[in-house]
Structure 1
Amino acid sequence: MVIGVVIGPESDAMSIIDRANDRPVAQRSAGGVAPLVRSGEVSAEVLAARLGRWTQGEGTLAARLSDGVAALISGGELRAGDRLPAERGFAAASAVSRGTVVAAYADLAERGLVDRRQGSGTRVAGVATPAIASAQRPGRGEALFSASPNAIDLLRTVPQLSDLAVQLIREHRPRLELALLPETDPAGLPALRELIAEMYCAEGTPTTREQILVTHGAQQAISLVINALVSPGDVVLAEEVTWPGVTDSVGLRGGVVHGIPMGHDGLDVDALEVAIARLRPVAIALNPHHQNPTGTRLPAAARHRVAELAAQYGVPVIEDRVVAGISFDGVVPPTLAAERADAPIIVVESVSKWAWAGLRIGWLRADPVLVRRLRAARQLADQSTSVPGQLLALDLLGKAVDLRTATSRIHGERLTLVRSLLAEHLPDWRWIEPRGGLSLWAALPVGSAGAFSRIAAVHGVSIAGSAAFAASVLPDDHIRIPFTAPDDVLTEGVRRLGVAWREYRDALSDRS
């Protein structure tokens, strides 16, 4: 991972009926990357190619072939239930004798990696991936809400209310006539759903009211979608560092999140395509606009390619746009759903980051069939969203552009303050300049973020590092610094971090 190491303070499968958009799409290859498995059947030719130079090395050909297939199983490319090629066809594709394949399959069966049954062929029994699974224990996000008593809280990104938001909240007069009849609809008030759809249309994403489901915040929307798409053992792709609400939700379903590498502009889309073809994910969860925690913004060409991949492979994308509107240069990219109408993209947003964090009103935009399915699941969870909250959201959404502009200005100024504080107290830390959002992702020059966070806690500052955000196993070398606290709190918090850092750095020097 290369995020946060180059810029410092001195420089600037969802089924057809559940698809997220209108036109059915089939999972297929793209960009010349052939899928290893189609409809549960492993291609002999593609499997032989994927194994590479397996004939080189120690041991018999059968043992080496068995080890090569075992590696694909442990890496997640071959999964439980996949049927391996017939012995004769695989032998021909691999240029070995049928006896070599028979012996390799027998060895895999003895190791418990495949099941062999007369008449049904050889199927993968499936194994867990220990390194990934151990990194994704559910509940990691709880650490972001566990600031030490009497400590300065630099864990959460709770934005400051703008003067406009305060004014709108104080002047709000609920339009009760909108809520008398449909107030218990799990999908949300019709007037609010209509307004959200109109907002998307104005931004370039054609949307109808039937495509909107109102939720208690964006996290509930994410959880509802993941619960609908993910079963035990399923793979979900995400950025290699991401909001733990995604990884925790997948983990609670028994799924595994596979992290995709990131660069200075966010997700590596080439790596995403390879992972789609190799791992056959049931969903892709992305935060492409002012990503939390890195602050990166995916370029236009990369956003378009993500939509192309979603359509070509038929893999649903959960697009988190919660902080898309908090932009320091005024650029608010369109939704991924606007890039290609037939791409199965589910857009998730809320008012929490640009209006009022205490108002738990969020929503998702998806295909009407999926919305109806999630509406039923929502009814079982909590029946419906607070009607008073939805009525207030009507007022706030009516001023969405102005509220986002005000919030961007406030936190752009806070970022300027944090940059100056880091230059003064932590001049050897490095980061990529965030183009929007609410946090800065800083790389430590030496040491462990986890160990340093414990030293910081002794000095009265609660911070979160790489472990809270890692989708995959990553170097423990980054700290997220939200710039949402009041100026005096930020000033004192970074000062204390500087004191803690010098203590920690000196201790490292003494041990070396």
Structure 2
Amino acid sequence: MSIDHRANPAPVDHGSDTGAFTVLVRAGEVSSEGLSGRLGRWTHGDGTLAGRLARGIAGLIETGELRPGDRLPAERALAASSSVSRGTVVAAYADLAESGLVERRQGSGTRIAGAAASVAPVHRPGRGEALFSALPNAIDLLRTVPQIPELAVQLIRDHQPRLDLALLPETDPAGLPILRQLIAEMYRAEGTPTTPEQILVTHGAQQAISLVVNALVGPGDVVLAEEITWPGVTDSVGLRGGTVHGIPMGPDGLDVDALEQALARLRPALVALNPHHQNPTGTRLPAAARHRIAELAALYGVPVIEDRVVAGISFDGVVPPTLAAERPDAPIIVVESVSKWAWAGLRIGWLRADPVLVRRLRGARQLADQSTSVPGQLIALDLIAHAEELRRANSRIHQERLGLLQRLMAEHLSDWYVDPPRGGLSLWVALPAGSADALARIAATHGVSIAGSAAFAASVSSDDHIRIPFTAPDDVLTEGIRRLGEAWREYRETLGRAS
């Protein structure tokens, strides 16, 4: 499995009626067959043939399937593949040139107009900052900071650091060899063939995600993710000058058909998914969907980040295997950490990837912060050795906490519909009416901080959901939901007066 440093240059398109695979763009050259397939039944409709062809190509430019600098097919080639006259194509290209959508130069053909993306990343406001903005003296229902199991407390108290490792004058940016070996063994035991050379230890899962994004995403690149996702993904991509395209979701998570269409159309540099007890929606992808995602990653050659930080927090005992286990040759990058199932204060995470990419990220890591804290890695050794027990204990703790949250909501928010997740650390709740952002502002005046759709939406937010973590201690969660109930009743009255 080898991962290139840029977006896949030859996406596969499924646009033809015959079902055969045709390449839309290869190395900046637009295929006449691929373009005809993507345009579909463009000859039907109002206006001249040339006008309809021009509108079809303009639509592909608008959606980003055709990008600045891409060279359109020669007139004769497109005319032949589309079964129209060369004059129709010439007229369509002339219309596009007059509109400023393409540039026509003697000897270099017709290219999509516009400058290539700037090397400097575009600054975009971070969505994740909202999750660290609890007001002073307010109850924080923004973040998912899990309770630490008693077993983890005991392991930490009993920990005896190995000073021969802790006092080494130099450390490997990829992590302690003994820890990489243990993580690889853990994956092998779970059914994912892994060698220590495939492991890179990081300061938490977020650093792992950021390292991958920094390496694989550049200005103007597209990254695919769930339409509702962890803001650490969208913020990291935004800092690189890229764009996150949200894929629709259903009751079981990502719409895999929509993912396949986006892979064919948008030529992404990366796909970032959280398929197991997804944060924030709590969805868990079925086995068939997980397998198909791995197949698509292999088919299109597009790297996929698989965020598994809460995969092991399962209330029914089901912990799906990694996507990497579904298709060993697919470019799957698994990201995980101990923070969600052992100790939130221990910022030890890792990624599992192709050894070539791991070596590359190791070099980037050396420039960022050299290496992960050795004492932290040594404690992680003790925790990972008991990973299965810790995950079960953590699952029991938070299943009980979810039950408490449901009872509290039945008392204080009885008109809210609750669809409990099968794992994870938070509840994604649809409001019966109104705006999540407006409710959050009123909740703040009642002394409770909550996050709505805008913090998690990949693009435009529907502003109709809030995330409620069930990680706070019982007394804090009880008081927080009581205050939220008061805020909702106040807000609901304003909605009634407005109608």
State if a TM-score over 0.5 links the two structures. yes
Distance 2:24 2:103 in 1: 19
**Residue 84 in 1 paired to residue 72 in 2?**
yes
**Greater mean deviation of Cα atoms: 437-446 or 57-66:** 57-66
1:144 matched residue in structure 2: 131
Shift of residue 60, structure 1, vs aligned partner: 4.2
- The residue aligned with 1:206 is 193
The one of 91, 98, 111 aligned to 1:123: 111
1:121 maps to amino acid: G
Is the aligned partner of 1:392 residue 2:379? yes
For 1:377, which of 364, 369, 373 is the aligned residue?
Answer: 364
Pick one of 393, 397, 422 that aligns with 1:406: 393
The secondary structure found in structure 2 opposite 1:219 is: helix
**1:358-393 superposed Cα distances (whole Å, 9 cap, x missing partner):** 111100001111000000000111111111111111
SS in 2 for 1:450: helix
Say whether 1:64 aligns with 2:28.
Answer: no
Q: Alpha-carbon deviations, 1:372-417, whole Å to 9, x = none?
A: 0000000111111111111111111111111111111110001001
Instruction: Check conservation: 2:188, 2:194, Cα contact below 8 A.
Output: yes
Give the whole-Å Cα distance in 2 for the aligned partners of 1:381 and 1:437.
Answer: 31
- 1:327-342 to 2 correspondence within 5 Å? 327-342=314-329
Match of 2:253 in 1: 266
Once the two structures are TM-superposed, the CA of residue 483 in structure 1 deviates from its matched residue by 0.3
Matched with 1:303 is 290
Matched, 1:349 2:373: no
Give the alignment partner of residue 90 of structure 2, picking from 97, 102, 125. Answer: 102
- The letter of the residue matching 2:291 is H
Instruction: Report how far residue 334 of structure 1 moved.
Output: 0.8
Which residue, out of 40, 43, 49, partners 1:52?
40
- Report the counterpart of residue 463 of structure 1 in structure 2: 450
Aligned in 2, Cα 1:493/1:447: closer, same or farther, shift over 3 Å?
Answer: same
Q: 1:407 to 1:219 in 2, by over 3 A?
A: same
Is residue 188–residue 215 contact of structure 1 (8 Å, CA) maintained in 2?
yes
SS in 2 for 1:463: strand
Question: Is 1:153 aligned to residue 143 of structure 2?
Answer: no
Cα 1:276–1:327, aligned 2, differ >3 Å: closer, same or farther? same
Q: Does 1:197 align with 2:184?
A: yes
Listed as ranges, the gaps of 5+ residues in structure 1 are: 1-13
Cα offsets for 1:150-176 (capped at 9, x unmatched): 111000000011111111111111012
TM-score (norm 2): 0.93
Deviations 1:334-375 (A, max 9, x none): 110000110100000011001111111100001111000000
* 1:6 alignment counterpart: none
Q: Give the TM-score of the pair, scaled to structure 1.
A: 0.91
Alpha-carbon distance between aligned partners in 2 of 1:418 and 1:357, rounded to the nearest angstrom: 21
Conserved? CA contact 1:351–1:361, under 8 Å? yes
Percent identical across equivalent pairs?
A: 80
Partner of 1:9: none
- Gap change, CA 1:32 and 1:426, over 3 Å in 2: farther
Cα shift at 1:299: 0.8
The equivalent position to 2:299 in structure 1, one of 290, 295, 312, is 312
Amino acid at match of 1:275: A
Distance 1:26 1:102 in 2: 26
Q: Which moved more, 1:466-475 or 1:200-209?
A: 466-475
How big is the shift at 1:209? 0.7
Residue 428 (structure 2) pairs with residue 447 (structure 1) = no
* Alpha-carbon offset, residue 44 of structure 1: 1.8
2:75 partner amino acid: E
Q: Which amino acid aligns with 1:377?
A: A
**Amino acid in the other structure paired with 1:47:** L
Q: 1:16 to 1:499 in 2, by over 3 A?
A: closer
Alpha-carbon separation, structure 2, partners of 1:100 and 1:26: 28
Deviation of 1:427 (Å): 1.9
Q: CA deviation at 1:452?
A: 1.1
Identify which of 338, 362, 384 aligns with 2:349.
Answer: 362
Letter in 1 for 2:132: F
Partner of 1:178: 165
What do residues 182-203 of structure 1 show as CA deviations (whole Å, max 9, x unaligned)? 7421111111111111111111
Q: State which drifts further: 428-437 or 305-314.
A: 428-437
Distance 2:250 2:130 in 1: 26
C-alpha distance after superposition, 1:264-298 (max 9, x if no partner): 11111111111111111111100001000011111
Moved more, 62-71 or 401-410: 62-71
SS at match of 2:200: strand
Q: Quick check: 2:11–2:24 contact (8 Å CA) kept in 1?
A: no
Note the C-alpha offset of 1:492: 1.1
Structure 1 residues 48 and 27, CA, compared in 2 at 3 Å: closer, same or farther?
Answer: closer
Aligned to 1:8: none
Match for 2:184: what amino acid? A
Q: CA deviation at 1:56?
A: 4.9
- Partners of 1:433 and 1:33 lie apart in 2 by 41
- Paired amino acid for 2:33: E
Indicate how the Cα distance of structure 1 residues 216 and 342 shifts in structure 2: closer, same or farther if over 3 A, else same. same
CA change 1:505–1:33 in 2 (3 A) is farther
Aligned to 1:225: 212
1:94 alignment partner AA: S
Q: 1:15 to 1:115 in 2, by over 3 A?
A: farther
Classify the secondary structure of the residue corresponding to 1:48.
helix
Report the number of matched residues: 491
Amino acid at match of 2:364: A
Report the AA paired with residue 86 of structure 2: R
Q: Is 1:237 the equivalent of 2:224?
A: yes
Amino acid at match of 1:338: A
2:97 maps to a residue whose letter is A
Q: Could you list the per-position Cα deviations for residues 78-129 of structure 1 after superposition, in whole angstroms to 9, with x for gaps in the alignment?
A: 1222221111121233343323322322332343322322222222235899
Q: Residues 89 and 182 from structure 1, CA distance in 2 versus in 1: closer, same or farther, beyond 3 angstroms?
A: farther
- Structure 1 residue 146, shift from structure 2 partner: 0.5
- Helix, strand or coil for the counterpart of 2:271? strand
SS of equivalent residue, structure 2 residue 175 = coil
1:215 to 202, 207, 213: 202
Instruction: Letter of the 2:59 partner, please give it.
Output: A
Alpha-carbon contact 2:30-2:72 (below 8 Å) kept: yes
Structure 1 SS opposite 2:70? coil
